[in-house]
Amino acid sequence: MALFSCLVLLAAPAKAGDRAIYLDLARSGWGYQLRSTMLRRDMSIPVRINGRDLSGAALCVIGERPTARTQAVLNSFSALTRRVFGRPVPMRYAGEEATGCGTRRIVVLRLYSGYPPNGALSRDIGWMNAAYGLGLPKGRSYAAGSPGQAQTFFGRRGSATHLLVQQADATLNDPLSEVFFRSILIEELFQSFTFGMDILMLQRPPVFQSKLQEVPLNIHRLPWGSEAFKAALVSTNPTGLCAFDVFMMHAVAEAPVEQTTEPAFLAFIDEAFDRLDLMAQDTLADPNLSLLLDPDCQAYRP
């Protein structure tokens, strides 16, 4: 496990072999097809996946107010999107319920500590279903499956993204908890704003190359929120973004494609690789973004 360091480690310029490695990771994280969907969803509603679609979307925070540590991550991520997409992530706190968010281009982020607020999660999705015409079954209940999770729904009146992320309560002040809660928030923000999918690893690599890489781990028998639970979950993937992840954010922002899940996206990355890598190196050198980076992976070149 790599604890956060204030040192900014600069990634070296790309080597010849990086192109193939990055393309393989991009193919795994973005070259997917939706093989299943929520049970009884209206299948006549089209699905269009482009990681650039949330550029400029506002973050509507509900539930608990962000702690100082949570707010620091949100601010750093907004600074990252400003560098990459040319737009920050505007954000505001809208109270306890998602109904206060309005129906503009938003990402709903429900923060909580302690046990998952499954009742509130069900109300959030029920409101989004009605507001965006998502075609989900009415009256259905939803439950959290992990401390951090993100869902994007496609509706007749636009798409809607919902994040449910646990944050530390005011009494927790230990290094493991700090890394754990920061890591799950960074992961959900990154995946939501790029549409990158988990890249499952059969075994833990010597060095992770992406926040998307994940080693499957059975933690169902560990008490939720225990030290063992946090340590196990933190060990499954990087604690922050890697050089490849920042590279892919630039690729998503620059690619002239209809969907970032189509072969044309990979072709663009191959063609524009050197330019994208230089952009990523410049972004990685920004000390204001160090909170988001895992120093053990973001400087790594295989």
pLDDT of residue 177: 93
Mean pLDDT of the chain: 88
- The pLDDT of residue 202 is 87
Tell me the pLDDT band of 15, cut-offs 50, 70 and 90.
low
pLDDT score of 239 more than 70: yes
For 15-19, 123-127, 192-196, 222-226, which range has the lowest pLDDT when averaged over its residues? Answer: 15-19
Cβ-proximal residues to 262 (8 Å cutoff; 6+ apart), any chain: none
Whether 48 contacts 158, CB under 8 Å: no
Average pLDDT of span 270-275: 97
What was the pLDDT predicted at 11?
Answer: 42
pLDDT at 103: 84
pLDDT at 12: 46
Mean pLDDT (whole number) for 243-261: 96
Which one is predicted more confidently, 205 or 281? Answer: 281
Gap between the Cα atoms of 105 and 88, Å rounded: 13
Q: Do residues 4 and 239 touch, judged by C-beta distance below 8 A? A: yes
Q: Is the predicted pLDDT of residue 2 greater than 50, yes or no?
A: no
- Gap between the Cα atoms of 73 and 151, Å rounded: 20
pLDDT digits (tens, 9 = 90+) for 147-166: 999 999 988 988 899 999 99
Hey, how many other C-beta atoms are within 10 angstroms of the C-beta on 216?
A: 11
Give, in degrees to the nearest 5, the angle at Cα 214 between 74 and 65: 25
Q: How confident is the model at residue 185 (pLDDT cuts 50, 70, 90)?
A: very high
31: Cα within 13 Å, side-chain hemisphere: 13
pTM over 0.85: yes
